[in-house]
Structure 1
Amino acid sequence: MVGCGDSLQESSGNFSSPGFPNGYSAYMHCIWRISVTPGEKIILNFTSMDLYRSHLCWYDHVEIRDGYWRKAPLKGRFCGDKLPEPIISTDSRLWIEFRSSSNWVGKGFSAVYEAICGGEVKKDNGQIQSPNYPDDYRPNKVCVWKITVAQSYHVGLTFQSFEIERHDSCAYDYLEVRDGNSESSPLLGRFCGYDKPDDIKSSSNQLWMKFVSDGSVNKAGFAANFFKGEQWSALPGKLGTGMACSPGSLGTGMARSPEGWAQEWSVLPGRVHVHCGDDNLRASRLASCVVVNIVTVVRLHVPATPPPAL
């Protein structure tokens, strides 16, 4: 067991109040700082809790903060004998502070922690990174992300960088992407090597990602931005506001709107019924496009500035 306060940098560990389980002394002050690999989170579980109970835990207490210093956001302050629920950090650091100011003798507390990667991501845009990116990822990692954006939208995924151990069948280190929220959802791709995968679009508002590394070769990993996309149907004779195509082209294209959003459009395979005029896209106006049949168009909204990493 670690003594009264310490810096904990292993991927898992445990610590306890001084004297546990035989009781702690009055007027103690201990601070533990937990730091794991960037890109990972910390899950903290209390296995025993027996501190003097007071209103708002004013006297003896253990306090958890979501960061590496005293003024980081408070996750909770605990006393008494009820075990707190598991605590998960938002990034790779936690601050734990223990204070005692009474002469009441209790057993104290004990806790265990573990570094975790992946998790459920419920927001409309952000960035997913392999653990320790842009430095080499650690061996023997399995990270699963479940991305959910707003209802009636789709998830767009675009890779900023990609460097995973190369293998013909991606048998060792790889990133797997599935169209849904589970490992049984349809496979969109299994990727490794040094070439960035093409942009990916889900068919619903959920996307499932799994990163695996074995025990040998480690590389820089990947960084990918995700964002919500909108699917809608264009009526004959009208492509729709904010949509554009180039003369003589069919398939996909990219344009930037006056509002600063990048707008990508695509006509799905087998249903290409778009005619384009002669004028290219200008900053102030759109190309001349006429839809001669009902088609399905996917429009993705990408923030002009990169989102923060998760």
Structure 2
Amino acid sequence: MKSACSYDYVLIQNDEGMEERYCGHYNSLVYTSTTNRIKVSFVSDNTIEKNGFMAYFITDLDECRNNNAGCQQRCTNTIGSYQCECESGYVLADDGHNCKEGGCNLQVYDPEGEITSPNYPFDYPKGKNCNWHFVTTPGHRLSISFEEFMFEEHNTCKYDHIEIFDGGNSDATSLGIFCGSDIPPNLQSSANQLFMTMLTDASVDRRGFKAFFSSVCGGNLKAEQTIGYIYSHARYSDGKYEKKMRCEWRIMAQQNRGVNIRFAQFDLEREVNCEFDYVEIYDGGEILEEHRVARYCGDKLPPSFTSTGRSLLLLLITDESEEQKGFIAEYRSSIPGKITPLTSTTRRPPREPIINNN
């Protein structure tokens, strides 16, 4: 993924002052310059190592520069050719150049962004059944807010409407059905998935909607026998954590079980008393001084800890000065622990856990 890419990355620059950074994992990546010269730089830090990259370069003519190559909507240059593409809500016609109304079922994995109804800012198509499935980083929730909203009016939203669900499909708890011209309230998921449907009938059409979604740290998590992950911030893999964060994760196990937590990666601002950026672990579901186990900062892995009851709270605080890479924590259900936290000589692992979006 591109975005910040603050640690290990490839930087490509051209003569016009434009640049692109790339990091993460790609099976195939094509960069096409707008000038006849580019500079490629490789940068790595002193923590995680990966396999690196192998690249080929050739010269190529940009067919899209000439009358959009005959494409009705979007044209993308490819090696030795070009490809016509369509806006949201449309698919490519059989001729490969024009666009027609099509499906609108989207999987969205970005931590934040903008979405619109099909054909926005013009009227949405009739007879559509669309859905958006949002998935963000484990340990984070999704928030959605609407800037513009215009649907067919009905007192029970029987006709054209959207519905938002607290989970990964329409079987999850409904957060609301909305229609008309009133802006829906800001809504937030309880975990890292959100699902939205849009239904239009064959009669009235309207302008539709424009909305923004973002990731929010913290939430209520369920500890099971399989490992769950908490990332300090949604863009952990390609950027440092933000300033002035306050995140609370409440982890709950079933009755007569405890919650075990260990850190796979840990890098917060270092300070002798951990007064600036830090995490705290609480043996229980509330922030009470008598339940506080410890406070940690710096880049040394904290010891693992198992709660004495069925709940554990993890708190992250950052100030407005220095940022670092953050942390990855693993949690799972376990036999309840003792009052004193366990010690550990665990060393920094060589690789990061993989975010599983399935």
TM-score by length of 1: 0.55
Partner of 1:285: none
Q: What is the rounded CA distance, in whole Å, between the counterparts of 2:131 and 2:310 in structure 1? A: 42
Aligned residues: 231
| Residues 137-156 of structure 1: pairs in structure 2 closer than 5 A | 137-140=240-243, 141-156=245-260
Aligned to 1:127: 229
Q: CA deviation at 1:116?
A: 0.5
Query: What do the CA deviations read for 1:142-186 (whole angstroms, capped 9, x no partner)?
Result: 211001101122222122221111111112211111111122252
Task: Measure how far apart 1:120 and its partner are.
Answer: 0.4
Answering whether residue 278 of structure 2 is matched by residue 178 of structure 1, we say: no
Equivalent residue, structure 1, for 2:301: 196
Q: How is 1:1-310 mapped onto 2 (pairs within 5 angstroms)? A: 11=112, 24=123, 27=126, 40-45=140-145, 50-51=151-152, 60-62=160-162, 73-74=169-170, 78=177, 80=179, 86-88=187-189, 90-91=191-192, 98=198, 100-104=200-204, 108=208, 111=211, 113-125=213-225, 126-131=228-233, 132-140=235-243, 141-185=245-289, 186-231=291-336
Once the two structures are superposed, residues 121-143 of structure 1 have per-residue CA deviations (whole angstroms, 9 ceiling, x without a partner) of 12325222211334443222221
**Aligned residues: CA RMSD:** 4.7
Residues 10, 117 of structure 1: CA spacing in aligned structure 2 closer, same or farther, 3 A cutoff?
closer
For residues 111 and 85 of structure 1, do their structure 2 counterparts lie closer, same or farther at Cα, with a shift above 3 Å needed?
same
Q: Measured at CA, do residues 307 and 134 of structure 1 come closer, stay the same or move farther in structure 2, by a change above 3 Å?
A: closer
**Is the contact between residue 127 and residue 307 of structure 1 (CA under 8 Å) also seen in structure 2?**
no
Matches of 1:8 and 1:128, distance apart in 2 = 17
Identity score, percent: 25
Inter-partner Cα distance in structure 1 for 2:315 and 2:304: 17
Q: If each structure's strand is expressed as a fraction of its own residues, which one has the higher value?
A: 1
Post-superposition offset of 1:78: 4.2
Secondary structure in structure 1 of the residue aligned to 2:255: coil
Equivalents in 1 of 2:125, 2:287: separation in Å?
A: 51
Q: Of the two, which has the highest radius of gyration?
A: 1
Provide, for residues 167-225 of structure 1, a one-character-per-residue CA deviation record: whole Å limited to 9, x for no partner.
11112211111111122252111101111111212221111111122343322221222
Greater RCO between the two (CA within 8 Å, min separation 6)?
A: 1
Instruction: Show structure 1 runs of 5+ residues with no match.
Output: 232-264, 270-297, 299-305
Partner Cα separation in structure 2 for residue 129 and residue 225 of structure 1: 9
**Are the equivalent residues in 1 in contact too, given 2:162–2:179 (CA < 8 A)?**
no
For the Cα contact (< 8 Å) 2:151–2:161, is it kept in 1?
no
Query: Which structure 2 residue ranges, 5 or more long, are not aligned?
Result: 1-86, 90-105, 343-352
Measured after TM superposition, the shift of residue 62 of structure 1 is 2.9
Note the C-alpha offset of 1:65: 7.8
CA distance in 2, matches of 1:155, 1:85: 32
Question: Is contact 2:141–2:219 with CA below 8 Å preserved after alignment?
Answer: no
Report the Cα distance in structure 1 between the residues aligned to 2:329 and 2:109, rounded to whole angstroms.
30
TM-score w.r.t. structure 2 length? Answer: 0.49
Q: Distance in 2 between matches of 1:229 and 1:4?
A: 46
Deviates more, 1:189-198 or 1:101-110: 101-110
1:248 corresponds to: none
